[in-house]
């Protein structure tokens, strides 16, 4: 089957803060690309396609650690091993956020 993804995904294994309105919880980052993120959560989250969440996580770059803050919407959910895997599409990235994601994915690609 042909790969339909626009951007290459890289495995990550780190905690990510996911929040919406006044609700905030930790989730596990599974993989990331310049356009999205796959996270694993212990609780059920709803896929509306319109709700935007804030994601906060640390990224490692050649120059050191940076905090990444970006918004995304849930594009799919799937039950996996008793947890919910949630596909996130980044939305409304500004130039600085996009550049930071590009630097991060280039850094991850060098580590492979």
- Render pLDDT for 23-58 as a digit per residue (tens, 0 to 9): 899 999 999 999 999 999 988 887 776 789 999 999
- Asked if the model's pLDDT at residue 65 lies above 60, the reply is yes
pLDDT at site 111? 82
Instruction: Indicate the pLDDT class of residue 82, thresholds 50, 70 and 90.
Output: confident
Whether residue 44 contacts residue 82, with contact meaning beta carbons closer than 8 Å, is answered with: no
- Model-level pTM? 0.87
In order of start, what are the domains of the chain with their CATH numbers?
A: 10-111 (2.40.10.220)
Per-residue pLDDT of 12-28, as tens digits, reads 999 999 998 888 999 99
CA distance 11 to 55: 17
How many residues comprise the chain?
A: 112
How far is the first Cα of the chain from the last one, in angstroms, to the nearest whole number? 23
Percent of the chain with pLDDT over 90: 70
């Amino acid at each position: 089957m042909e790969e339909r993804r626009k951007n290459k995904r890289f495995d990550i294994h780190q905690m990510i803060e996911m929040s919406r309105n006044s609700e905030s919880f930790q989730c596990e980052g599974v993989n990331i690309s310049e356009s999205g993120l796959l996270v694993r959560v212990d609780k059920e989250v709803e896929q509306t396609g319109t709700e935007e969440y804030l994601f906060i996580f640390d990224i490692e770059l050649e120059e050191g650690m940076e905090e990444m803050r970006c918004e995304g919407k849930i594009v799919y959910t799937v039950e996996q091993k008793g947890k919910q895997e949630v596909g996130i599409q980044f939305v409304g990235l500004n130039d600085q956020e996009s550049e930071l994601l590009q630097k991060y994915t280039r850094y991850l690609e060098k580590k492979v």
